[in-house]
A = this chain, B = another copy of it.
Amino acid sequence: MDRRFFLKTTFAAAAGIASYGFADSNNRKPNIIVIMADDLGWGDLGCYGHQVIRTPNIDKLAREGTLYTNFYCNASICSPTRAAMMTGRFPGRVGVHSQISTRERMESINSAYCLDTRYPMLPRMLQEAGYHTMHIGKWHLSEWLHKNPDQPRPSEYGFDDYLLPYLNWPKCKYGDKWQQKTHRPYATELFVDQGIKYLQSRENSDNPFFLQMWLVDPHDPLIPKVEQMQHYNHMKPGQPYNEGDDKYLEPNRIWYSVVTEMDRQLGRLFDAVDRLGMSEDTYIIFTSDNGAANPQAYDTYIGWGSNGPFRGQKGSLYEGGIRTPFIVRCPGRVPAGRVDDESVISGVDFMPTFSSIAGYKKKAAYEQDGEDVSYALGGKTFQRNKPLMWQWRYGQARGAIHQSPMLAVREGRWKLLANPDRSRIELYDVAADPSELDNKADANPELVRQLFKKLIEYHKSLPDAAEGPYDKNAGKNTYAWPK
């Protein structure tokens, strides 16, 4: 492993951190279920304002719990977001800058090919707090495990058990292995099947559990079965325009169908929690790993999710790339029917917050980027003590108006986006202007100065700050104007 990933800090016992006192509210520490969708946009759920997509089960979860409108991923792309949730640190601090694929590819772009197992990890912390920890579904924190057996497994990150597609997936009704891509339409069904089995296995245990379920829906490829598209039959063209190979069905309907099927399967999981009598002892958290992708950035099967009113998409630091749904339900602990428009929450907060929920008394000896937001889960507005920082080193989001600068910081109601060389400076009051269309930089030079200073210090503090190479399009919003 690259020495850049060497862990210089340790996870030592120390004084307990301030806690909302969840573990004291009854005799049993609450279970935690985190469900993360893949490439689902902030606006892709009925409860987040979508006018067409049917997501009755997630909408119900939101009604029974609290819906947060200011939740941020720590990256606008898969692996870094996940690394942040696992470590409580901004992904740049642990060297995960882009989505993990092959070692060669990752070395060529100076990004980690696996998350270093030596960092403090959320599941290990929960193990120490007495939790049984389980991961089901997508992983994407080590180089392709099914092709590279020497790569660390989830167990090396602190999971007592795990089920990964392509690796150790059990026999199921669709075949022995979760290997054929033809299983894609059943992906969430398979995950939920295993999730329910896991819940059943924990029913009579004295220990609480942490179930991390990372979906592959609604990431492309999108191949819903005809029966899964039934809710959107009204969107069917009235006549076949063509036959055989030339039959092109409608992408909107395909996207909606995949999201609705995901919701339908998750409904089975939520029902199982209730049926097993676990509701009041179990946090169910639903989120996504980044904003919906721009379909034009991809060549093959890809949907067109909704990033709500936001500018930006997957691969961008505008809100559309990093603001995602965040719903928390735990009757009796989390207020029902609440919409929290104030608390700014992020993936790095998972570690300190779950620590609090788990009644974990040790204090991290390294500086976490996340904060304990358990007050926000408990129904109070949470004010961050530290700003949120983002760095995106590559070009990806297609469409000039979605291509953000390389760095971003949110502090209070303000968000500054900038390139390290100051070639772009954009300041938005995202509380009043969530679409980021009204650049207030010129009118607030002192605020720009302060936020830029913090941003550039963060940027320079990264272990590989000087290494690059950055994608030649990073931070640019140029267009090949006719000449």
Chain A residues with CB under 8 Å of chain B are 43, 47-49, 51, 62, 67, 69, 181-182, 184-185, 221-226, 235-237, 239, 241-242, 245-254, 295-296, 298-302, 304, 306, 308-311, 339, 400-401, 435, 437-439, 477, 479-483
Contact = CB atoms under 8 A, between A and B. Distances in A.
Contacts of A49: 479-482
Contact of A339 (B295, B304, B482): B482
Contact of A181 (B239, B310, B480): B239
Contacts of A248: 221-223, 248-249, 251, 254, 301
A160 to B, nearest CB: 34
Nearest to A320: B401
Contacts of A62: 482
Q: Is the interface of A mostly helix, strand, loop or mixed?
A: loop
A309 B250 contact: no
A435 B401 contact: yes
Query: What 6 A-B pairs are tightest by C-beta distance, nearest first?
Result: A309-B479, A49-B480, A309-B400, A235-B299, A237-B300, A250-B300
A182 B241 contact: yes
Given A226-B245, A309-B479, 6 more contacts: A181-B239, A223-B248, A247-B247, A248-B251, A248-B301, A250-B301
A64 to B, nearest CB: 15
A400 B312 CA distance: 12
Report the copy number of this chain in the oligomer.
Answer: 2
B223 A184 contact: no
8 contacts: A62-B482, A185-B246, A221-B241, A223-B248, A250-B302, A296-B306, A304-B304, A437-B439
B237 A224 contact: no
Contacts of A250: 299-302
A251 B252 CA distance: 11
Contacts of A295: 251-252, 295, 304
A321 B89 CA distance: 42
Contact of A226 (B67, B69, B246, B302): B246
A480 B400 contact: no
A69 B241 CA distance: 36
A48 B482 contact: yes
A311 B185 CA distance: 35
Contacts of A311: 401
A185 B300 CA distance: 21
A51 B480 CA distance: 8
B249 A221 contact: no
Contacts of A221: 237, 241, 248
Nearest to A438: B439
Given A241-B181, A401-B437, A483-B339, A251 B253 contact: no
Nearest to A237: B300
A221 B236 CA distance: 12
A253 B435 CA distance: 30
A111 to B, nearest CB: 24
Contact of A253 (B43, B246, B299): B299
A47 B246 contact: no
Nearest to A398: B306
- Residue among A181, A223, A437 with the highest chain B CB neighbour number at 10 A: A437
B309 A401 contact: yes
Contacts of A246: 185, 223-226
